Amino acid sequence: MIKNDKWIIEQARQGMISPFEEKSIRKAVLGTAQEVPTISWGLSSYGYDIRLSPHDFRIFRHIPGTVVDPKRFNPQNLEQAELHTDEDGSSYFIIPANSYGLGASLESINMPPNVTAICLGKSTYARVGVIANTTPLEAAWKGEAITLEFSNASSADVKIYASEGVVQLLFFEGQPCQTTYADRGGKYQNQSNKVTLPKV
């Protein structure tokens, strides 16, 4: 069963999401003295919109003769993206046309042992060609941040805003499982607040 806003509030108070915003934020002070429109984050009816961290965003780059291998990943295939600031004080990275980037959430997550969450892209980004990979946060997964994956399917460079909403989490509760992600020592357990690279 998908979980509602009341359940999400209760679980956030027990440490499931931190920091936590109990409503949907659509305007914020981001560096200027006045509120400016933002890509929304915070609580929704049946989910929670998390934000993109301004501290770590990496873009895949083409190195001639190199094949990206998820089993033997070469960190040199990624380069740190520059954080820009616009006239409103909003910070953003640029995902080049037909490129792929990795970021991290601002929020820490600590999943209950009988709940799995799915990360889905936000409509605002989908409409400009940015696709967020659908990834699960399994039962009892926790981390200082979620590593987030984005594809720019458009033929133009696209801004992706830091400290603003970027993906939505939907929470699904099931019968207690025999073995949680924590129990089996999942390889992406206890991620830091930076991008976590592929590993086996």
Residues identified as active-site: 149
| Residue 6 buriedness (CB in 10 A; 0-12 / 13-18 / 19+) | exposed
Six token digits for residue 191: 């991620």
- Cα separation, 113 vs 59, whole angstroms: 33
Give alpha helix (H) positions in 150-195: none
